[in-house]
Amino acid sequence: MRHHDSIPSFRRLRAFQAAARTNSLSAAAQALRLSQPALTHSIAQLEGELGARLFERGPEGAFLNQAGVIFHKRTERFFDQTRGALAGASGRSLDIAAIDSQVAKLASAQVRSLLAIWRSGSFRAAARDLGLAEPSLQRPARDLEQIIGAPLYRRSAVGLTVNEAGGELARRLALAIGEIHAGAEEIDAASDARASLRVGVLALAPRFLLAKATNSTLANGGAQRIEVVEGPYERIARDLHDGALDLVFGALRAPPPFPDLVEEPLFEDPYTIVCRRGHPLTGLSEATPADLAPFDWVHPSPGLPRRAALDRMTTDWSLDADVRFETSCLATITSLLSESDRLSILSRWQVELDHRLARVNHPPIPHKPRNVGLTRRSNWLPTPFQDMFLNHFRAEARMITSLPGPF
């Protein structure tokens, strides 16, 4: 349960939830139609996985302790999200009793098989990744299909894989399982053990702000971990949507590409025309389109917002439309600019913080306001460690934007 890809035991979670709701091991066992020793054993196994006791047991019943209260909050969210995932996958209207019946039949092996097929792309690749024979993977995968009462798989060029309903069910179950991992981390954090945060960062995001928030969050030491993943917006947003990331920092799209993502603007960071320090244009009080026309440009790759802004400038200002060099790599852009008289478009903060670059004073670039901020899932519940990072991050953003400078 410590690893983000691990699948918790549904049987143990059901045993814990029943005991937490009834404050009685015997009543919980009766509700689940188990013997009391079997239920007690399941809870003991769960406590062993978490490394913490969840109940205070006495003659009047079993009552949640501090760790139990933390974990119960997360298991409630887990089962709520699991019910929603199953209801959505069935493709038909189901009453609460029917959905609860499906949840009661759900087994970890079935969910593990679905997630492996979703992540690997096919039954064959999933079986290889799990170290199983393909028939051993197909049995629980098909059992899950029977529980749902709707097809979850389709044939493709690479063999059997998930269909649209199966992929969405896998994504939503992965998010639900993330609640269990978050609960385990919260229990760890309460005992000064490991907690984690996974942040996606976009190309022009001001990394000094991320560094300041990270240093403040990790200042007290301990085993906490912050993982930073960089990449193009489409992949980073998809990873956030799928639960592989907790948070994304960078330019906001307004609106984001998935309905479950919400954006929090922190400051404006407009585009500017950039060049090397000492460039002939830096001596002008304001460069006109005619002043810009003789120079080559390093074009951002197609599909990037900066490319759309430059393409519009090219049309509106009658600049040379020939594209001689284009790249999405920020390091390549800055290197090309610093070694030539080429021009490009970057965010204003990037220019202020790179000693090799300078801004060209120019008329306003025709593009909508560019806001930088945080993107998260709408139903994300941060752990205390993640919440501490958010508080530090917002505080650093407020401090930076209150100072004179590029913002």
CATH code 3.40.190.10 region(s) in the chain = 195-268+371-402, 271-359
Instruction: Summarize pLDDT for 133-164 with one digit per residue, the tens.
Output: 999 999 999 999 999 999 999 999 888 999 99
Residue percentage of the chain with pLDDT more than 70: 96
Q: Residue range 316-324: average pLDDT?
A: 90
Q: How confident is the model at residue 123 (pLDDT cuts 50, 70, 90)?
A: very high
Three-state SS for 121? coil
Partners of 151 in the β-ladder: none
Instruction: Give me 171's structure tokens.
Output: 């994504």
Is residue 287's pLDDT more than 50?
yes
Give CA angle at 205 (297, 374), nearest 5°: 140
Q: Is the pLDDT of residue 221 over 90?
A: no
Which helix (DSSP H) or strand (DSSP E) does residue 115 occupy? helix 108-120
Mean pLDDT, residues 14-29 taken together: 95
Architecture of domain 10-172: Orthogonal Bundle (1.10)
221: amino acid identity, one letter: G
Check residues 371 and 190 and name the one with the higher pLDDT.
371
* pLDDT tens digit sequence for 289-306: 999 999 999 999 998 889
State residue 340 phi and psi, 5-degree precision: -155, -175
Q: What is the mean pLDDT of the chain?
A: 91
Residues in the chain: 407
| DSSP string for 162-196 | E-HHHHHHHHHHHHHHHHHHHHHHHHHHHTT---E
Helix (H, G, I), strand (E, B) or coil at 397: helix
- The stretch 68-87 carries a mean pLDDT of 96
Query: Which residue type, as a one-letter code, is found at position 11?
Result: R
Q: Give the residue with greater pLDDT, 383 vs 189.
A: 383
Report the candidate in 394, 150, 171, 202 with the shortest Cα–Cα distance to residue 306.
202
Region(s) of the chain under CATH 1.10.10.10: 10-172
Q: How far apart are CA 213 and CA 197, in angstroms?
A: 12
Choice among 214-218, 222-226, 247-251 with the minimum mean pLDDT? 222-226
Res. 404 pLDDT band, cuts 50 70 90: low
Q: What percent of the chain has pLDDT over 90?
A: 74
CB 141 within 8 A of CB 114: yes
Q: Mean of the pLDDT values across residues 199-218?
A: 92
Question: Does residue 308 surpass a pLDDT of 60?
Answer: yes
CATH of 195-268+371-402, one of 1.20.1050.10, 3.40.190.10, 3.80.30.20, 3.30.1490.20: 3.40.190.10
To the question of pTM greater than 0.85 for the whole model, the response is: no
- pLDDT at residue 141 in the model: 95
Contact between 348 and 271 (Cβ < 8 Å): yes
Q: Which residue has the tokens 């204003």?
A: 348
pLDDT of residue 95: 84
Look at residue 59 in the predicted model and tell me its pLDDT. 84
Q: Over the stretch 351-375, which tens digit does the pLDDT of each residue have? A: 877 889 999 998 888 888 789 999 9
Lowest mean pLDDT among 8-22, 109-123, 188-202: 188-202
CATH class, domain 271-359, is: alpha beta
Q: How far is CA 171 from CA 115, 128, 241, 277, 395, in A?
A: 8, 21, 8, 48, 33
Secondary structure (DSSP) of 12-70: HHHHHHHHHHHT-HHHHHHHHT--HHHHHHHHHHHHHHHTS--EEEETTEEEE-HHHHH
Is the peptide bond between 151 and the residue preceding it cis, with omega within 30 degrees of 0? no
